[in-house]
Structure 1
């Protein structure tokens, strides 16, 4: 299979999964770029394919508009959905300056403990140019509606279900309780000995 054909298939997959979608506005009138992390098949997509897709399909629609990113982290797993630190940095560095200037906020939904620690320890250095200062953690959808117009944004059902789980089991926010449906109320057995400051996992 040719490289061009492989790239086309990868871009078609990104489009089909609707990983990136521009729709709705926040309460400051900024267009919303919604990104669903769980839908990103990182093991099957290279950083080059992602950059090409963004350059051709997304950035041209944002270049002259104020916008905000709504990133939904719900259900993200490092082994499945995380492209890697170097790839993420490469993608960020490739964003055109006029697009970066028009980015006004990043709403990070359901961040989880590891994502918070990762960004707290390396975010200020990693995302140069002020992006870290635009980051807004959103632990519940009810808090999102304080910033985003609810009736203009489509939220996947699995995100709503997870949000409801968090209401009844708040320790899931801190990785102290399993999110497996068959062990409600049981402490997590995943890897209690792993340091909180480990950057090997962003989920």
Structure 2
């Protein structure tokens, strides 16, 4: 008889999770960070990890490379589509072992919406229940929505498990290849969601088994120590690798509400834009506490000019200084800056280079800690800048309270690693005003080097789309509305 048809024959294949080693028990064989960064990190003990060493949580986590359908958990998860009839390897294997009754039972559920979770009996499986969920279809343009939906999948799976008193859950990889979600991005969301849930409701769940294929195992094994460090040493070593955007206290992606522009004269957003003085675009030096910070790089530059410091020594000190900033960035809670949605990664340009977006209107300069802004920039950009990338800056509808002053920008330029400047291939300045062009020219000519030739001024989105396809960039709605209102379809389509 074919394998899987005989319930007794199938059951002999099932895996008792009690025999599997927990994550805490596995040998610590994670990647080690460079020595320079490690030394710098050890001197920055005052910045705690957002995911500290918790052996009680690690003992509930299991990494299993194999078939989720074989686990004898109280419940296993099936990743499917909205009609619950998707034909992916995980779902097909569950159906094969559960038997034909599962298909009949799924018809009664009448589908499942993206992000939701529903359960059925396990039938011929060792698991008593199957939790069915629908992961999002991924498109770079709608990345934020996809993140929220994927979070909801994992959160609703665990919530359903606790409500139904399911002691153990076998989690398959919800983001199937058919739905196009980047595996590493999806894994970050899965790990932080499960971690936060276990922190708050861990007493109600005895085990969470991450069931992965051979191809998925490497990513899971690499990222698990970031969220589930197995010692205080591993916690310290992994801290620089923890993403800046770790969601809220539940692990949920922070989706900022539409920014509300407050002016003394509402309704006059653009009317007087050309009449303001040039300083308003980049601001005046010294208004913010950050402008008064000590500049290590400036000191080094003076020493080298005086002949007291070699160029190689200066570069080494600059690298150490940058590593100190990077360690701080990895250790601080920057969720409030992430929530502004002023800097984010989207798709790729026509040359396949990563596109980073800066939204000027979303930067409330007078209300935020600019040092944290710099930390967030370093944290987000550190892994992006290792390869060629481009930046798109939407100057659309910015006001004086949105403009970063020149001293801040100069400090940022001086502090960041050399790779940031080398690998930045273009800076697209969208919807510039006359005064912003002049201010930028002064800044790139006299304050920083190597930037002026990379700046491209674009008056409308159609010009941007000749460099970056529309589906590859997530554009804020107010930018789209402004462009349609000011440039109009006829003008834009003629480019």
In the alignment, is residue 74 of structure 1 matched against residue 396 of structure 2?
A: yes
SS in 1 for 2:428: strand
Q: Distance in 2 between matches of 1:19 and 1:81?
A: 11
Cα deviation, 1:100-130, whole Å, max 9, x if unaligned, reads 11110001110111101112334212221x1
Matched, 1:48 2:371: yes
Q: Is the 8 A contact 1:47 1:90 kept in 2?
A: no
Partner residue of 2:351?
28
Preserved contact between residue 36 and residue 71 of structure 1 (Cα < 8 Å): yes
Structure 1 residue ranges (4+ consecutive) displaced by more than 6 angstroms after TM superposition: none
Matches within 5 A, 1:74-153: 74-78=396-400, 80-128=401-449, 130-153=450-473
Unmatched tracts of structure 2, length 5 or more: 1-46, 48-328, 489-495
Could you tell me how far apart the structure 1 residues matched to 2:465 and 2:386 are? 25
Q: Give the 3-state SS of the residue equivalent to 1:119 in structure 2.
A: helix
Between 1 and 2, higher relative CO (CA 8 Å, sep ≥ 6) is seen in 1
1:45 CA displacement = 2.3
Determine the C-alpha separation between the residues in 2 that align with 1:23 and 1:142: 18
Give, in whole Å, the separation in 1 of the partners of 2:385 and 2:443.
27
Secondary structure of residue in 1 paired with 2:386: coil
Quote the Cα distance in structure 2 between the aligned partners of 1:164 and 1:61. Answer: 35
Greater Cα radius of gyration, structure 1 or 2: 2
The whole-number CA distance in structure 1 between the counterparts of 2:442 and 2:422 is 24
Cα pair 2:347 2:472 within 8 Å, conserved: yes
Secondary structure at the counterpart of residue 475 of structure 2: coil
Flag the 1:142–1:95 CA change in 2: closer, same or farther, 3 A: same
Q: Does structure 1 conserve the Cα–Cα contact (< 8 Å) formed by 2:441 and 2:452?
A: no
| TM-score computed with the length of structure 2 as normaliser | 0.31
RMSD of equivalent CA atoms: 2.0
Segments of 5+ residues of structure 1 without an aligned counterpart are 169-203
- Aligned pair count reads 160
TM-score by length of structure 1 reads 0.73
